[in-house]
């Protein structure tokens, strides 16, 4: 039985393997408070989710109520694409800290390996993808900022004590290879899309050889994206292979998906705004999938990706699909 619920990072820090996703969360203050009461200790945030003030208020409420202490929580946030320049990275991190009501982050991630033109906070926050969203024909505007410049500024955040760990999201193997060459402080995490339709074994193996732990986002493979009209024609939580395995263990398909990810050695950041599902998604440490079950789930792979910025920006000057 795999009972370990922490993922060891290269810094020696241990991150709870299940983190609560907050993208598109309804009633974040209440849900985050309920989550912490239910036992969640890792919250996955981002400036881009436009809710860090409410998420922070939920954490504060739990701390003030004595449910947990700040040091019991693992809080991750992400640097948005418009703040990649060395002179903007620290201010972006400080803004996130202020919004969350914290004086340090456990983990700060570069959200995408894509630099976009700077938008000042007072003009628009968060700036999201397009430079001119109010115009008739909104466009992506890229910025000439190399990733190593951004990483050097991320390293300074560790040295100044604003963040304990730094990492990346949505990095392919060649980008990780490059990063490992120039990083003085090596990345602790690569947070990538992972579910049975996108198993990314080669990337997992490669990051493993470099001491990079992996967090899987969108572990249920749909939900938020389907709400955005990005239907890939399958309903992950209703897949017959998963349903059969779930019923043989007396578990739900969501719990099987989380268990599959944990047994592959990754942490995961499932999102729910629902009080019952907060408990359901945490209740995955009392059963184990067999090697055959893990393999059968992995065999569902179709290399189907939801989080392709090119698709989000289709018709907005974005190349589609960026990751193909
Ligand atoms: N680094 C990056 O670029 C990215 C990071 N992320 C992170 O990953 C998190 C999770 O990914 P996300 O794309 O939101 O999607 P998920 O795969 O976590 O799916 C969320 C959907 O599943 C539903 N759901 C949750 N639990 C259950 C359950 N037990 N049974 C049935 N349905 C359930 C939710 O609905 P309901 O709320 O009603 O329960 C929602 O519709 C994000 O919130 C974000 O923190 C996501 C995308 C990109
Ligand atoms: O993490 C996230 C989920 O995906 C979205 C689209 O790429 C991002 O904008 C968001 O920040």
Q: Quick one: pLDDT band at residue 307, thresholds 50, 70, 90?
A: confident
Query: Does ligand 1 come within 6 angstroms of the Cβ of 21?
Result: yes
pLDDT bin (cut points 50, 70, 90) of residue 323 is low
Q: What is the number of the ligand closest to the CA of 267? A: 1
Hey, whose CA ends up nearest to atom 8 of ligand 2?
Answer: 48
pLDDT one-digit tens code per residue, 42-89: 999 999 999 999 999 999 999 999 999 999 999 999 999 999 999 999
Task: With a threshold of 0.90, tell me whether the complex ipTM lies above it.
Answer: yes
CA-CA distance, 81 to 167, in Å (whole number)? 14
Q: Which two tokens stand for residue 116?
A: 């976009």
* Given 33, 49, 108, 225, the catalytic residue: 49
Ligand 1 in contact with 41 (CB < 6 A)? no
pLDDT tens-digit readout, 191-250: 999 999 999 999 999 999 999 999 999 999 877 787 777 778 778 999 999 999 999 999
- Do 259 and 1 contact (CB within 8 A), yes or no? no
Q: What is the Cα–Cα distance from 126 to 270, expressed in whole angstroms?
A: 22
Is 83 catalytic? The answer is no
Residue nearest to atom 5 of ligand 2 (CA): 307
111 belongs to an annotated ligand binding site: yes
Residue 236 DSSP class: G
Closest ligand 1 atom number to CA of residue 273: 37
Is there a contact between 80 and 48 (Cβ–Cβ < 8 Å)? Answer: yes
With 0.80 as the threshold, say if the pTM is over it.
yes
Pick the residue whose CA is nearest to atom 42 on ligand 1: 21
């Amino acid at each position: 039985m795999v009972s370990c619920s922490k993922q060891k990072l290269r810094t020696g820090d241990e991150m709870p393997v299940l983190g609560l996703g907050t993208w598109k969360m309804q009633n974040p203050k209440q849900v985050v408070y309920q989550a912490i009461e239910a036992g969640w200790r890792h919250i996955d945030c981002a400036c881009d989710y436009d809710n860090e003030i409410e998420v922070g208020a939920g954490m504060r409420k739990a701390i003030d109520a004595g449910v947990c202490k700040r040091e019991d929580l693992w809080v991750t946030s992400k640097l948005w694409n418009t703040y990649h320049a060395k002179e903007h990275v620290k201010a972006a991190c400080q803004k996130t800290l202020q919004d969350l009501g914290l004086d340090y982050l456990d983990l700060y991630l570069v959200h995408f390996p894509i630099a976009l033109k700077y938008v000042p906070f007072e003009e628009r926050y968060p700036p999201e993808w397009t430079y001119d969203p109010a115009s008739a024909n909104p466009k992506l505007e890229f910025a000439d900022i190399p990733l190593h410049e951004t990483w050097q500024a991320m390293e300074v955040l560790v040295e100044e004590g604003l963040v304990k760990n730094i990492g990346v999201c949505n990095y392919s193997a060649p980008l990780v290879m490059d990063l490992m060459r120039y990083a003085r402080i090596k990345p602790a995490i690569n947070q990538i899309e992972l579910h049975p339709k996108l198993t990314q074994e080669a990337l997992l193996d490669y990051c493993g050889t470099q001491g990079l732990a992996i967090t899987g986002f969108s572990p249920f493979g749909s939900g938020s994206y389907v709400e955005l009209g990005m239907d890939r024609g399958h309903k992950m939580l209703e897949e017959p292979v998963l349903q059969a395995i779930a019923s043989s263990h007396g578990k739900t398909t969501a719990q099987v998906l989380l268990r599959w990810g944990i047994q592959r050695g990754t942490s995961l950041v499932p999102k729910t705004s629902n009080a019952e599902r907060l408990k359901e998604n945490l209740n995955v440490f009392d059963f184990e999938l067999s090697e055959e079950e893990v393999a059968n789930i992995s065999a569902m792979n179709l290399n189907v990706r939801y989080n392709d910025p090119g698709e989000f920006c289709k018709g907005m000057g974005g190349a589609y699909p960026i990751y193909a």
